[in-house]
A and B are shown apart, each in its own frame.
Chain A
């Protein structure tokens, strides 16, 4: 399997990039500006969509880039620009907070990996499912039509809520 070697390499590359960028989002040792964090979040998301491609989830990879890297990140940046957040750069991460965070996160991760280690993953030898637009769309508009409509209402409600919240004379 020649292509498998290529996908392996690509996987490691994308995974490394994703994790590295995520680290820089969370704790950038050089710069604590939220804008930087947001930029690294974009990178994280883009490299994640690469991972999605490796999993043959083509449609989701596209949506990931469109929705996240496009809309969501723009929203973040917009808000960051709206607020004056230079203040953040002067604040340090507290030692106790960092220790506590590392401790708890370490605990959870340890549990995850323990489970992963003990679980017998009966791997499909040759995954054949393709996450292309046509098959996903078919599923979405047949079996999942009701959740699809509900989610559209959710978006509408969120939109109205945001408009209400952003009015100046919010009591």
Chain B
């Protein structure tokens, strides 16, 4: 393996950047942002150099022993003599999966960094923003490159922390602070399961290294995959993905996280952080057995449907895209659950392109509209923001799955996977969601870019600067062609050993191999677009609530999940907290501490009486002491 140092550099450059910014250049916006952009762009360049030198199929690990507890021999999974020792490396795993993710994180992340340079220009805390961005990039790269569970978990938590910092970046707004807290706590719930899963894996198999685990599974697949404990471990690990990738029932944080700056939404909530859950599932796919996969598939499908329904009736431009992200993540998770890691990662990659594009374009719209986010205050922006309009259209087409845009290919591979697994229920769900996706995407598109200007801001909207539009164009190019530039080859060769490398034309024609899902996919997308066109072409207000009635209200209110959680979990939690608080205050603090404190106080007062300050008393006591000593030494 050439350039062994490069992956380490790629990983630690953003950390260095975050440290330098935090310690030295917090005063200067420009220097800080340039350092941060430099770190991630350098990471991208190094990744490209590394890949061009080594190819995608390095399949190497570079690691340093980092932590060893107990005996150094690792435990054989089948032995019964208990836990012998824990050995954890700080290692980097380099294969097609991680290298592709590396490209996405540094590439898309780099574009978002550049975009942020302009987007955050007016913010006083721009330097802090870039420090957080760098910290986030470091954590995300850490997840991608980890070669063992513990290291991945640490970076997993770091991602949680840095996303907390970024979502709550405008901490002056109470809603931003609440959203950050919500995101962090919801993630922690999932992470708790993840940690339990990791511990289960270690307890059963005695290793945390992905490579070692994979070979253990390869050697004992029959016994292991039918074991109940492995199902449990798989589901617990899936909990981590549920949190990070915002699957039902922990999906509530993602929409609120839109309180953060738009580049954050693009980086965290489209391209990278939420993808971490899907990535992790693919990384540890070998230990998920049929039962666990079943659960995963249905949760993914349900999330996709739920989020798509909610997205139909949202009015905040970023929230619509956020729910669409949820829905697409549901697709990916569902694909993983249907044994389609290739399809999942393929969709993850194309989704990173077009969803980052949509978010950034939405950011551009928001900037042009002077921080107005309600789509019913926009309208007719296509003339005023032509580049944003075109790139947004490309992103919307890709998201809806219209050929030949990237989303079409990846979504089609998921459809095909559903049919291949003969899961017609989930195929139906997927098709319905695809229709809904096209519908709400173009609802947003028509309302924002067509029709009349619905506010003064819309009349005075302007196109954004070049620093913003260039990343849009680059992303738009990838969103357009991402489906047939070989992405699927790299993933395919990672997951299926007998994968044959497809040529360019083969990739282009790949969907034709399975015409049924392709036709259904295109048909539902076109129906969705047509419906959106006919309803929203010139609409000033949303006509749907009148037609759908209660359902619309429920959609608008996100099916009352927040309210349900509020009434059940949070209320229950508050009650428990109140009880604990009361115990702490009255029993511990009042009673026990009262006794101890009061006792000390009382004895202190008692002993103070001995300190009379009177010379005679001291002399008297002194003589008594002398008498005692004399008695014991001489007089007995």
Residues of A within 8 A of B (CB): 97, 100-101, 104-105, 107-108, 111, 114-115
Query: Which residue of A is nearest B622, CB measured?
Result: A104
Contact B635 A101 (CB under 8 A): no
Contacting residues of chain B (607-636) with chain A, CB-CB under 8 angstroms = 616, 620, 623-624, 626-627, 630-631, 634-635
Query: Which residue of A is nearest B616, CB measured?
Result: A97
Contacts A115-B634, A115-B635; A108 near B626 (Cβ below 8 A): yes
A114 to B620, CA, bound (A): 21
The 8 listed contacts between A and B (C-beta, < 8 Å) are A97-B616, A100-B620, A104-B620, A104-B624, A105-B623, A107-B623, A107-B627, A111-B627
Contacts A114-B635, A115-B635; A108 near B620 (Cβ below 8 A): no
A53 to chain B, nearest CB (A): 31
Contact A111 B623 (CB under 8 A): no
Q: Which residues of A contact B630 (CB under 8 A)?
A: 108, 111
Q: Which residues of B contact A107 (CB under 8 A)?
A: 623-624, 627
Q: Which residues of A contact B635 (CB under 8 A)?
A: 111, 114-115
A114 to B627, CA, bound (A): 13
Q: Which residues of B contact A114 (CB under 8 A)?
A: 635
Contact B620 A101 (CB under 8 A): yes
Query: Which residue of A is nearest B624, CB measured?
Result: A104
B546 to chain A, nearest CB (A): 95
Contacts A115-B634, A115-B635; A104 near B627 (Cβ below 8 A): yes
**Majority DSSP secondary structure for residues of A touching B:** helix
Q: Which residues of B contact A111 (CB under 8 A)?
A: 627, 630-631, 634-635
Q: Which residues of B contact A105 (CB under 8 A)?
A: 623
A112 to chain B, nearest CB (A): 8
A108 to B631, CA, bound (A): 9
Q: Count CB-based A-B contacts (< 8 Å).
A: 24
**Majority DSSP secondary structure for residues of B touching A:** helix
Q: Which residues of A contact B626 (CB under 8 A)?
A: 108
A107 to B628, CA, bound (A): 9
A89 to B284, CA, bound (A): 99
Q: For chain B, which range describes its interface: under 10, 10 to 19, 20 to 34, or 35 or more residues?
A: 10 to 19
In-complex Cβ contact of B623 among A97, A108, A115 (8 A): A108
A-B pairs, top 6 by smallest CB distance, nearest first, are A104-B623, A107-B627, A111-B635, A100-B620, A108-B627, A111-B630
B272 to chain A, nearest CB (A): 73
Residues of B within 8 A of A (CB): 616, 620, 623-624, 626-627, 630-631, 634-635
A104 to B617, CA, bound (A): 12
A104 to chain B, nearest CB (A): 4
Q: Which residues of A contact B624 (CB under 8 A)?
A: 104, 107
B513 to chain A, nearest CB (A): 104
Q: Which residues of A contact B623 (CB under 8 A)?
A: 104-105, 107-108
A137 to B627, CA, bound (A): 37
Q: Which residues of B contact A104 (CB under 8 A)?
A: 620, 623-624, 627
Q: Which residues of B contact A100 (CB under 8 A)?
A: 620
B362 to chain A, nearest CB (A): 79
Known: A107-B624, A111-B630, A111-B631. 9 other contacts (CB 8 A): A97-B620, A101-B620, A104-B623, A104-B624, A107-B623, A108-B623, A108-B630, A114-B635, A115-B634
Query: Which residue of A is nearest B625, CB measured?
Result: A104
A104 to B623, CA, bound (A): 6
Q: Which residues of A contact B620 (CB under 8 A)?
A: 97, 100-101, 104
A111 to B616, CA, bound (A): 22
B44 to chain A, nearest CB (A): 75
Q: Which residues of A contact B616 (CB under 8 A)?
A: 97
Q: Which residues of A contact B631 (CB under 8 A)?
A: 111
Query: Which residue of B is nearest A114, CB measured?
Result: B635
Query: Which residue of B is nearest A115, CB measured?
Result: B634
Query: Which residue of B is nearest A109, CB measured?
Result: B627
Query: Which residue of A is nearest B634, CB measured?
Result: A115
A111 to B627, CA, bound (A): 8
A101 to B620, CA, bound (A): 7
A16 to B561, CA, bound (A): 106
A161 to chain B, nearest CB (A): 22
A104 to B616, CA, bound (A): 12
A97 to B627, CA, bound (A): 17
A101 to B631, CA, bound (A): 18
B618 to chain A, nearest CB (A): 12
Query: Which residue of A is nearest B635, CB measured?
Result: A111
Q: Which residues of B contact A97 (CB under 8 A)?
A: 616, 620
Q: Which of A105, A111, A115 has the most CB of B within 10 A?
A: A111
A131 to B116, CA, bound (A): 106
A13 to B328, CA, bound (A): 120
A49 to B498, CA, bound (A): 121
Query: Which residue of B is nearest A100, CB measured?
Result: B620
A113 to chain B, nearest CB (A): 10
A94 to B630, CA, bound (A): 27
Query: Which residue of A is nearest B628, CB measured?
Result: A107
Query: Which residue of B is nearest A104, CB measured?
Result: B623
Q: Which residues of B contact A115 (CB under 8 A)?
A: 634-635
A115 to B635, CA, bound (A): 6
A105 to B624, CA, bound (A): 9
A100 to B631, CA, bound (A): 18
A111 to B634, CA, bound (A): 8
Q: Which residues of A contact B627 (CB under 8 A)?
A: 104, 107-108, 111
A23 to B381, CA, bound (A): 116
Query: Which residue of A is nearest B614, CB measured?
Result: A97
A94 to chain B, nearest CB (A): 8
B153 to chain A, nearest CB (A): 67
Query: Which residue of B is nearest A101, CB measured?
Result: B620
A116 to chain B, nearest CB (A): 11
A108 to B629, CA, bound (A): 10
A88 to chain B, nearest CB (A): 15
A149 to chain B, nearest CB (A): 32
A15 to chain B, nearest CB (A): 24
A97 to B635, CA, bound (A): 26
Query: Which residue of B is nearest A119, CB measured?
Result: B634
A111 to B630, CA, bound (A): 7
Query: Which residue of B is nearest A105, CB measured?
Result: B623
A29 to B626, CA, bound (A): 28
A97 to B623, CA, bound (A): 13
A104 to B618, CA, bound (A): 12
A108 to B624, CA, bound (A): 8
Q: Which residues of A contact B634 (CB under 8 A)?
A: 111, 115
A70 to B508, CA, bound (A): 127
Query: Which residue of B is nearest A107, CB measured?
Result: B627
A154 to chain B, nearest CB (A): 25
A104 to B635, CA, bound (A): 15
A105 to B631, CA, bound (A): 13
A110 to chain B, nearest CB (A): 8
A101 to B618, CA, bound (A): 11
A100 to B623, CA, bound (A): 10
B616 to chain A, nearest CB (A): 6
Query: Which residue of A is nearest B627, CB measured?
Result: A107
Q: Which residues of B contact A108 (CB under 8 A)?
A: 623, 626-627, 630
